[in-house]
Amino acid sequence: MSGSAEFPRLSMAEFLQNLQRLAIGGVQWRDLTDPARAAMHSGFLRVTTLELIHADFRSGDEFFRLLCSFPALESLILDHIIHRDSLIPEPQSDTAKTTLPSINTIRFRNIMCGSKAIIDALLPFCSTIVLLDVHFLGHPLAALDSYLAISHLITTTGGSLRRLSIELRGSLHKSDLAKAFLHHWDVSRNTNLRELLLDIDTDVQPFLQRMASSVSCNGYAGVPSRLEVLDIPWLISCSQDLQSLDNLLQHPRFAYLVRLKSVVRIRHPSESRWLASLVRLNPTTEMRNKMDEDIGNCQKQLSGCYRRGILELKELYM
């Protein structure tokens, strides 16, 4: 920016020193010049929300140091963020001597292969994370390292985590990885978890059974006992035995549940995309009757939850 005697020259960081939300897209951090990196570490001191889109870091430590340059940071949104191995070793930060921002919200969008180092770099911030929103995308094998890192991140948040959202998309949606994720994921240390969203197209009953047990799969006692909201969009479509699931949800471990949310789907027989989009807004009488019938059946099979007044079923015409 140009300046004058009356209006002195200001750097971009100085000009935006009161900025609270910052979004940066398409940046290859490894290619930034030293002055550009210094500007990132000295400016934007009041930013509370940072969104990084399609950013490429040469190390997890480089990503960690960037986050620490935002002392007021509370919310972090990461979309297609990856780490590529660098031939030049990066100095490692001493996290014990570093003043960390109190990040309470992290939203992952489109986690892919190469995200592990980025996810691991977030571990020092776990004691303040309240909300964790995770969206996986890609091939199951490509996401395996990221899946393991996310599982460890969830565990490390411990009692600070209140809301957790897991969404698997792409070829992951019906893959064996989705089942493995539920089988190995242990939320027993997240003792203050209040809301749980599982947008996974597979049967979650084995996972809920493990939540209800007194001891977790890894031997840790104390599974979430005050869970209030359980949102499973594919529950109705994927559960093999809703009556058995209903009995499970009457377990004392789910006594604080105030909302069980799911979706009832009715698909139009036509394969026409144009017609399908039309019936979403104006479903046929036959489809409405079928919806009423299916919702009634769900209420009967989930009678315990229905009597408690916690069952919330959303109608979706396709």
Backbone angles phi, psi at 308, to 5 degrees: -75, -10
According to the model, what pLDDT value does residue 191 have?
85
Tell me how far apart the alpha carbons of residues 103 and 100 are, in angstroms, rounded to a whole number. 8
According to the model, what pLDDT value does residue 89 have?
45
Structure tokens of 209? 């059974």
According to the model, what pLDDT value does residue 187 have?
75
Name the CA radius of gyration of the chain, rounded. Answer: 23
According to the model, what pLDDT value does residue 176 have?
67
Question: pTM value?
Answer: 0.84
According to the model, what pLDDT value does residue 186 have?
72
Judge contact between 212 and 248, C-beta under 8 A: yes
> What is the longest distance spanned by two Cα atoms in the chain?
77
Tell me which DSSP letter residue 57 carries.
E
Structure tokens of 250? 């009457």
Q: Where are the alpha helices (DSSP H) in the chain?
A: 12-15, 34-42, 60-68, 116-120, 144-157, 176-184, 205-212, 235-238, 242-248, 273-281, 285-301, 303-307
According to the model, what pLDDT value does residue 220 have?
46
Task: Give the residue from 44, 50, 52, 49 showing the smallest Cα distance to 13.
Answer: 44
Give whole-number Cα distances, 173 to 40, 176, 178, 245, 291, in Å: 38, 9, 7, 21, 25
Task: Give the residue from 168, 206, 167, 210 showing the smallest Cα distance to 188.
Answer: 210
Judge contact between 305 and 249, C-beta under 8 A: yes
pLDDT tens-digit series, residues 209-220: 888 875 444 444
Residue ranges covered by each domain of the chain:
20-87+103-251, 258-318
According to the model, what pLDDT value does residue 76 have?
97
Query: What is the helix, strand, coil percentage profile of the chain, to 5?
Result: 40, 20, 40
Backbone angles phi, psi at 317, to 5 degrees: -100, 135
What angle in degrees, to the nearest 10, is found between the helix axes of 205-212 and 176-184? Answer: 0
CA torsion, ordered 249, 183, 236, 209, to nearest 10 deg: -20
Per-residue pLDDT of the chain (318 residues; tens, 9 = 90+): 444 444 455 566 566 778 899 898 887 776 677 777 666 666 678 899 999 998 888 888 889 988 998 899 999 999 988 776 544 444 455 555 578 999 999 999 887 667 888 999 999 999 999 999 998 765 555 567 787 888 889 989 999 999 999 987 665 555 666 776 777 677 778 889 999 999 988 888 888 888 887 544 444 444 456 899 999 999 998 877 899 999 999 988 899 999 999 999 998 777 666 776 777 778 889 999 999 999 999 999 999 999 999 999 999 988
Three-state DSSP class for residue 199? strand
pLDDT tens-digit series, residues 82-130: 776 544 444 455 555 578 999 999 999 887 667 888 999 999 999 999 9
According to the model, what pLDDT value does residue 30 have?
66
Structure tokens of 168? 């698997």
